[in-house]
């Protein structure tokens, strides 16, 4: 790679990393806890509430994230009564959090369902409250069970952050594109591919560490 290409690419990549990593981190931090709550509500005995949550999950999983980003940024303003013009960053975070919460919620729902009912009964007989049972007895076991699936989604999220280009946000892929256009070179794309690989390599390590941490029992 020519040095002038690198000279332009490196600062732009660093700038783009801010967007890529903040979309990633904020989505994870918001959607993981939210999704546990959504999974619980989805499993609620109240048919109306669980159906509404089911529809939300269906829409989020049944349409492209790209379309969701566009809808929230460009389309939501025109929705009668509740229409509102979100800023670009707001639209990005809302779309990503809504989308990933739906995916994570389905994973958690499966995880919660997989816990033996005897665990609830033992807790009940021992006088533990429902919330204590969920937080201290059920959830730790659920987390262990769902970690591999959550890990998959987390890796997918890294790559999905590149979709923010549709709203004109400057992430690392946009940096590569700008430099590529400026110098008619393809090498910036290869460079950015390596950056994605580096991020996912670190995440894979972290995820394995967490899985190891939960491997203290069987």
Partner 1 sequence: MILEVKNLSKSFGNTVVFEDISFSVNKGEIVCVKGKSGEGKTTMLRCINKLETPDKGSIKINERYLCREEDNKMHYASKDELQTITQDIGLVFQSFNLFPHMTVMENLIESPMFIRKMPKEKIKQRAYELIKQLELEGKEDNYPYQLSGGQKQRVAIARACMLNPSILCFDEPTSALDESTRNQITKIIRDLAKQGIAIIIVTHDNNFVDEIAETVITLSEGNIIISKSNQP
Closest CB to partner 1 among 15 and 211? 211
Is 216 a binding residue for partner 1 by CB under 8 A? The answer is yes
For residue 95, which of 161, 168, 19 has the smallest C-alpha distance? 161
**From the CB of 111, what's the least distance to partner 1, in Å?**
13
- Applying CB under 8 A, the span of 47-55, 73-81, 138-146, 179-187 interacting with partner 1 comes to 138-146
State the number of binding residues for partner 1 (CB under 8 A).
20
Is 122 a binding residue for partner 1 by CB under 8 A? The answer is yes
Q: Which of 8, 43, 137, 203 binds partner 1 (CB under 8 A)?
A: 137
Contacts of 73 (CB under 8 A, 6+ apart): 86, 88, 91, 92, 95, 167
Looking up tokens 């280009």 gives 165
- Applying CB under 8 A, the span of 4-12, 79-87, 132-140, 185-193 interacting with partner 1 comes to 132-140
> What is the C-alpha to C-alpha distance for residues 48 and 154, in angstroms, rounded to an integer?
31
Cβ neighbour number for residue 212 with a 10 Å cutoff: 9
Is 129 a binding residue for partner 1 by CB under 8 A? The answer is yes
The pair of structure tokens assigned to 44 is: 């609620």
């Amino acid at each position: 790679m020519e040095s002038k290409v690198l000279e332009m690419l490196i600062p732009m990549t660093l700038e783009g990393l801010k967007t890529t990593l903040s979309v990633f981190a904020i989505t994870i931090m918001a959607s993981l806890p939210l999704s546990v709550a959504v999974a619980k509500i989805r499993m609620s005995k109240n048919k109306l509430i669980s159906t509404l949550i089911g529809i939300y999950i269906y829409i989020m999983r049944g349409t492209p994230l790209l379309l969701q980003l566009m809808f929230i940024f460009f389309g939501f303003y025109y929705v009668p009564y509740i229409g509102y013009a979100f800023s670009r960053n707001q639209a990005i975070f809302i779309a990503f959090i809504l989308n990933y919460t739906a995916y994570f919620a389905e994973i958690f729902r499966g995880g919660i369902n997989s816990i033996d009912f005897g665990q609830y009964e033992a807790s009940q007989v021992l006088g533990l409250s429902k919330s204590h049972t969920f937080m201290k007895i059920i959830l730790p076991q659920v987390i262990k069970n769902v970690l591999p699936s959550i890990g998959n989604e987390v890796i997918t999220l890294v790559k999905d952050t590149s979709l923010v280009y549709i709203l004109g946000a400057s992430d690392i892929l946009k940096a590569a594109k700008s430099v590529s256009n400026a110098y008619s070179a393809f090498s910036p794309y290869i460079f950015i591919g390596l950056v994605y690989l580096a991020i996912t390599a670190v995440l894979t390590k972290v995820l394995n560490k967490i899985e190891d941490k939960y491997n203290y029992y069987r």
